Chains A and B, each alone.
Chain A
Amino acid sequence: MKTLTVPGTLEALDEIGEFVMDFGQGAGLEKKKIYRLRLAVDEISTNVILHGYKEAGIDGKLTFEAEETGEDITIRLFDTGVEYDPNEKANPESLNKPLEERPIGGLGVFLSIQSVDKFLYERKDGKNIHTFVVRK
């Protein structure tokens, strides 16, 4: 298992992206799936940084655990920001509306959930745990 801990700021997104892509490459994941996994993790990380920490006035870190089990690549994101279940934000219905009529927000979560085979959220011991799984 590999881990990464970064401060909860937008500047950390680069390092998070590199961590996910490096792990995907090392596990032999195909290019498209690496892209999608990175997208999924990047979007949720952005939400944690902006909504879980910044808007709430909380300083915190993001910790990632990446592991390969059989055919599955699993990335877990732990944060101590406000409780936030991305599943409640996902609303693909508005995607068929003209641009002018679409609500802001929810787009990143939609992209994230669509881009992985499995997405799970839980709140445990004061932490948010986001789990992303892609199959090789």
Chain B
Amino acid sequence: MLCFEHVSFTYPGSEDAIFRDFSLRAEKGGFISVIGESGSGKTTLFRLLNGLEQPQEGSITIDGTPIPEKKNFASYMPQQDLLFPWLSVEQNVMLPMTIRKQPKELCRKKALEMLKKVGLAGWEKRYPRELSGGMRQRVSFARTLCAGGELLLLDEPFSALDSITRISLQEWLRDQWNHLEKTILFITHDVEEAVFLSEKILVLTGRPVTGLTEFEVPLPRERTREMLLRPDIAELKEQLIALLRSEATE
């Protein structure tokens, strides 16, 4: 279980706190989306989880162990694919394992397995410049899977894509998660995306963030885009939009 307890955080040199006495609990194995307006602290939440920033107060634990004592528990997928242009697709996917000095043959085997999983078998010797935006994001996802964490932190991974590619990748990601035994924390500012992908939606509230509002998404594990037209889902979307609006005007 992921647990934020009474976390307070302010960026060095800034006077405005991002989190103040913030607490969060997330169960293992879920697909949880975090939404909030721009600058609401979504990315900072991931930076704290990644250990890129340290909270000034409070603690962040995974299964009761503080994050600084944990190793390789989370894999991060950034907004942009950040593939290394001088590395082939295969080498990009192997990167987290290469950094951890795992045997080369094992890295290659796992990378090929992941590329097959994301539908890019046969593309391993190509270079990022030869791929479309959607393919690059899938390589980035394969790299995230190779990083080996139980918790996947996906930071608006589809925000830079055109709407058609975005929709197809949302369906693809949902399908991937159905077959993965991972917890996904997914940042987005798109209500429809959050509803389609998640089991649970967290809306960060307050400025600085002091708490959150949780919403359960009443959709089955195997879901289709048509289900978004159901009246209860339309009502959920309205609630979310109303909450985000009230947060923005406060």
Partners in one complex: no
Write the residues of chain B forming the contact surface with A, with a CB cutoff of 8 angstroms: none
Write the residues of chain A forming the contact surface with B, with a CB cutoff of 8 angstroms: none
